[in-house]
Structure 1
């Protein structure tokens, strides 16, 4: 039995109040999600997270299915990824147009410096601390809160929600949403929650690729290391490589993109080259035989991936050539291509929903891009879009990808209200593009 009034607007208002009253349940959902380690690399927790989400979604009459990315698409010998790449698709179909709700379920690994247990939600007042709290498990909790409130109050939806809980956004070689897009499994239009709690109109974003450099020497007893031709120290041999990359770094960052920067930026968005991880050596008594260096390169939409990669490889190979007998391999272990301007006919209504949920004024909205990256460039390349809506829980103070990542109860409530409003049939009906345009005007309305 639904608890709602006979009047649609009364039901929507009651559901908004139910969101406020039900936030503790959302906090409980978030605690269960954070307890499942889905950090990438390596990405071993995807099946366990799918188990949890099926448990949470099945009572709301969602039909869940698992779509696993084939191993030959993502595995790199000696690369950082391991385990099944299990994506969960949850649908509740009634014949209405579909709105996809996208989340990446992976987090970055735990960084040194956490003062709280990163895999156990810590509640301190209205702040909610845990790995993935803002990026982006908290957005899943907000969605569940909105869906439960709608069900309890009998809110009629304009769109059938299709939840896309996907893998390997945090630097993977073959993100789950890419696979779903290329297999033509996506429907309708998509709300991407890998964004910020800000009055933002998405203008697109940079791409990123990760190269794993493996430099090989020859291991011997460390006491023999001073004998010429006996041992080849891979770590010492890698120093010219790292120096060459550090020399290239300011050259890369001197370039500028025309992509609109955030309002708080002090200048244009710029490409970046970063030494992200180094692994090598085993013990003080052994000359190290191997070192792996992870190089991350964020590239602007104006740059070609092939050129950016060739520039790095040329610097690395020239540096390795200075030391004889070193072995070298260069492997691509992660790649997200740039996302083009995702504007489209659903944006005005999503802006209205964000305004109602977060309290933004219409004049506060600005269109801007970011040097942060998205897996939705692949979605556009597969022919889905280009429209993609964007929202989320990220704030400058949220410590995303850093120790003490957190979100707040208030932001979860605000995002849940925005989601509920957008899905509801009786919210801003004059802005529903399916009712304003013919199918031929916009492919995303089909």
Structure 2
């Protein structure tokens, strides 16, 4: 950037942006991320959201963002997530620059638990951002406090370099994504806080463009039998045996379900390496029965993880599962079968042809030196609370990009993020927001 009293030459090319980012002090970023990681926002219980917001708010205010705290009604939270504690406080940051279009950056503040003993022993303190070589360790550095820190640093560089964004900018820092997001982005979307193109930073840094994600339905089944002494088993009803007909019907359903294909490209299966479209999944994930070897088990619990493709409707999915359970129940000796459904995440479908999606694809190619005709489109095999926005906002104008990579091990022990990926993401944000040598945004 060259300044005089009358002339300002803006750094809007990739070369100039890259040079500015490469000069940024690595330790300043690590110190900022460390502040965020030290705030234990593990959910459940999901405490300390206000402490997290207190760290990022002054930096956003210094950039000219108007801030609004959105508290989710306690009665709604108790009904949606009875296991949590404390208030659900979300942050909305708005900077109106008089542009025709708006970008809303999305991030979630919560993290999953970080066990730190036995086989789950960390190399470092999980609630500190620890730099080792060119990698940062800590719970949430990849999912997704690293993305939030990178965005704020990018916005600070945007101002420092006098770059002119081509969009009005919003940022929402939300609660409880790891539980489903209904007390976070779901509520904010319903209340109208998300505008324009949604930029979800809870995603990967890779050589692909994300065009969707699976939905997630949790199914809990309890088969009720009758306990008794194992030496008098004819007096009882073995709940483990009673669940077998239900398991058989569910496995039959699984074959039917997983034969379906989405129009959205996904990760190919080993047996069909050329078939790239997503398919739904039905997983028998947890089974519990019995308390002692000499007691006929009186109950048996089964948990199902059902992943949905965008073409599926939740009502149809729950109906076919219930029908399979009832077919098994009719052949079972169970006294009762109890079923509970929890719709955790909706499937997501992204439109890769919107002007902002095309712009972001160009950004990814330019920053990462990828030929545009080789950039592969792919859906995530995981789920995200952003999926609900397809229905709430009636939009597919959604971008998914973040700092995690395939080796980051989010949700696992020794979660890491690469400094290279962090600074690549910062470059992508700057080029996307302000780059001139890209296709027009209209």
Which TM-score band applies after superposition, normalised by the shorter structure? 0.7 to 0.9
Question: RMSD value over aligned CA atoms?
Answer: 3.8
* Distance (whole Å) between structure 1 residues aligned to residue 63 and residue 142 of structure 2: 24
Q: Distance in 2 between matches of 1:42 and 1:36?
A: 13
Q: Which digits, 9 at most, give the CA deviation of each residue in 1:35-79, with x for residues without a partner?
A: 333344454453443333325434434332222334555545886
Structure 1 residue runs of 5 or longer lacking an equivalent are 435-446
Distance in 2 (alpha carbons) for counterparts of 1:81 and 1:239: 34
Deviation (angstroms), 1:15: 6.0
Give the C-alpha shift of residue 23 in structure 1. Answer: 2.8
Distance 1:377 1:418, change over 3 A: same
In the superposition, relative to structure 1, how do residues 263 and 195 fare at CA in structure 2: closer, same or farther (>3 Å)?
farther
Match of 2:38 in 1: 35
1:85-234 alignment to 2 at 5 Å? 85-96=88-99, 97-110=101-114, 113-116=120-123, 117-172=125-180, 174=182, 176-214=184-222
C-alpha distance in 2 between matches for 1:280 and 1:65:
48
Residues 19-418 of structure 1 mapped to structure 2, 5 A cutoff? 19-20=21-22, 21-71=24-74, 73=76, 75-76=78-79, 80-81=83-84, 83-96=86-99, 97-110=101-114, 113-116=120-123, 117-172=125-180, 174=182, 176-214=184-222, 245-246=250-251, 248-262=253-267, 266=273, 267-268=275-276, 269-276=278-285, 293-319=302-328, 322-326=332-336, 328-332=338-342, 334-341=344-351, 343-418=353-428
Distance 2:47 2:286 in 1: 19
8 Å contact kept, 2:237–2:298: yes
Does residue 9 of structure 1 match 2:10?
A: yes
Relative to structure 1, the CA distance from residue 324 to residue 366 in structure 2 (aligned partners, 3 Å threshold; closer, same or farther) is closer
Residues of 1 paired with 2:76 and 2:145: CA distance?
A: 26
Do the aligned partners of 2:242 and 2:334 also contact (CA within 8 Å) in 1? no
- Asked whether the equivalents of residues 221 and 339 of structure 2 are also in contact (C-alpha less than 8 Å), the reply is yes
State the 1:89 CA deviation: 0.9
Normalised by the length of structure 1, the TM-score is 0.80
Distance in 1 between the 2:347 and 2:75 partners? 20
Q: Is the 8 A contact 1:100 1:188 kept in 2?
A: yes
CA contact (8 A) 1:259 1:368 kept: yes
Residues 335 and 174 (structure 1), Cα distance of their counterparts in 2 relative to 1, 3 Å cut: same
Contact kept, 8 Å, 1:22 with 1:145, in 2: the verdict is no
Total equivalences in the alignment: 428
Stretch of structure 1 that moved more, 279-288 or 144-153: 279-288
Aligned-pair CA distance for 1:296: 1.6
Confirm or deny: 8 A CA contact 1:40 1:106 kept in the other structure: yes
Contact 1:217 1:327 in 2 (8 A): no
SS in 2 for 1:134: coil
Deviations 1:95-127 (A, max 9, x none): 334321111333344476353343332322111
Deviation at 1:282, TM superposition (A): 8.1
Distance across 2 between alignment mates of 1:214 and 1:53: 44
State the secondary structure of the residue aligned to 2:382.
strand
Structure 2 segments unaligned to the other structure (5+ residues): none
In the alignment, the residues of structure 1 paired with residue 8 and residue 40 of structure 2 have an alpha-carbon distance, to the nearest angstrom, of 44
Cα contact 2:355–2:441 (8 A) shared by 1: yes
Q: Would the alpha carbon gap of residues 291 and 381 (structure 1) be closer, same or farther in structure 2, given more than 3 Å must change?
A: same
Q: SS at the partner of 2:342?
A: strand
Q: Could you tell me whether the CA contact under 8 Å between 1:123 and 1:129 is conserved in 2?
A: yes
Secondary structure at 1:181 match in 2: helix
Kindly provide the CA deviation profile for residues 194-216 of structure 1, in whole angstroms up to 9, marking residues without a partner as x: 22212433333332222233556
Structure 1 Cα separation of the partners of residues 154 and 308 of structure 2: 36
| Residues 78 and 229 (structure 1), Cα distance of their counterparts in 2 relative to 1, 3 Å cut | farther
Instruction: Answer with 22-31 or 135-144: which moved more.
Output: 22-31
* Distance 1:275-1:73 versus aligned 2 partners, 3 A rule: farther
Give the distance between the partners of 1:291 and 1:52, measured in 2 at CA: 46
Q: In structure 2, how many angstroms separate the alpha carbons of the residues matched to 1:211 and 1:166?
A: 26
SS of 1:433's equivalent in the other structure is coil
What is the rounded CA distance, in whole Å, between the counterparts of 1:124 and 1:227 in structure 2? 62
Check the 8 A contact 1:276/1:296 in 2, yes or no: yes
Of 248-257 and 304-313, the range deviating more from structure 2 = 248-257
Deviations 1:127-178 (A, max 9, x none): 1122222222211111122122223333332223211112333352726222
TM-score by length of 2: 0.80
